[in-house]
Amino acid sequence: MARSVAYVSLTPSIPGPDRGGVHPPRIAFVIFDGFQSLDLAGPHEVFRRAGGYDCTVVAPVPGPVRAESGLPVHAGHGVATLPPTGIDTLVVTGGAGVYTARHDPRLTGWITAAARGARRVVSVCSGAFLLAEAGLLDGRRVTSHWARVERLAREYPAVTVQPDPIFVRDGHFWSSAGVTAGMDLALALVEEDQGQQVALEVARHLVLFLRRPGNQSQFSVGLWSMQPSSDPIRQAVAAIHADPGARHNIADLAARAGLSSRHLQRRFTAELGIPPAAYVERVRVEAAQGALENGGDPLDAIARRYGFGTAETLRRSFQRCLGVTPSDYRDRFRSTLGEHR
């Protein structure tokens, strides 16, 4: 018996606002065998929910395209059938298949032609490899998924790779970190086009609790640090997380772990890949982030509560770890939080 396969078809389904007969701006999503499905579905949902866009999916050839996860998606257009003109925003997805796709001259040639006339060119995750292969990113600042940035920088030395931000804008080129960061970038594009209120409404409908600024770090303690492998270091780490604002100098942590200060410093760094003082700072910054997101306490009070001492020390730590000031962090999220209360 023949076996049928159901394909996900991403076609326009939400009517946009009345544009007085003017065709809505076209957003062309580039996919390929082995693409990351969320790199497509996340931004696509943001734009469709906002309305006012013509969303099109293009692949090397039209028809079924299998994502990295195995999810089959139907591409309505192939590069030979969709003219590279008339595209407002070009969105190039990433995924493990990008390393093969970038060597397809049909695909890179179409991307180059489409980028030439597009108002904006966007890469999600490792989609930056396709843009870089096409020579479109030389001399530009870009980001990608934290696990791909080292390879991107090594293979394309003319590109300035910034490993930390969620997304980066350089002129009309935008790039984002992996997977859900593509939705943050798409929300920023919607805000640029249609204003903050529309972007916040989209975030609310998609249950995106916070719309993160692009220069916020894509790393959190749970993601970037290794896990302790011995009981003494586990005890020290547990003490830090239990009360970030407590005194956590080397002597205090060593006493909790039952080690000498020198031994604690060496073992902590070896097991977690980061010195104790830097780890304490990152945990405190994350605790302060929560306070800024969920309350209106003065910066001085937050700084004292989480072990920074002064608002100036808090500001320096935020700049060092997140690339944004505490005040800017709070201002960016305040209106979004109001939408969800």
197-209 residue pLDDT tens: 888 888 888 877 4
Separation CA 277–CA 44 (nearest Å): 42
Is 30 in the same domain as 174?
yes
Is 186 in the same domain as 137?
yes
Is 111 in the same domain as 255?
no
Is 265 in the same domain as 185?
no
Number of domains in the chain: 2
What parts of the chain have a pLDDT lower than 70? 1-22, 209-226, 332-341
Is 135 in the same domain as 243?
no
Is 201 in the same domain as 226?
no
Closest to 128 measured CA to CA, from 116, 150, 146, 144 = 144
CATH number, domain of 76, equals: 3.40.50.880
Using CB atoms within 10 Å of the CB of residue 222, give its burial: 0 to 12 exposed, 13 to 18 middle, 19+ buried: exposed
State the pTM of this model.
Answer: 0.65
Is 57 in the same domain as 153?
yes
Find the domain containing 335 and state its range. 221-339
Active site residue ranges = 125
- The model's pLDDT over 160-194, given as tens digits with 9 standing for 90+, comes to 998 877 888 999 999 998 778 899 899 989 989 99
CB 153 within 8 A of CB 137: no
CATH number, domain of 294, equals: 1.10.10.60
Using CB atoms within 10 Å of the CB of residue 114, give its burial: 0 to 12 exposed, 13 to 18 middle, 19+ buried: buried
**Does residue 316 sit within a domain?**
yes
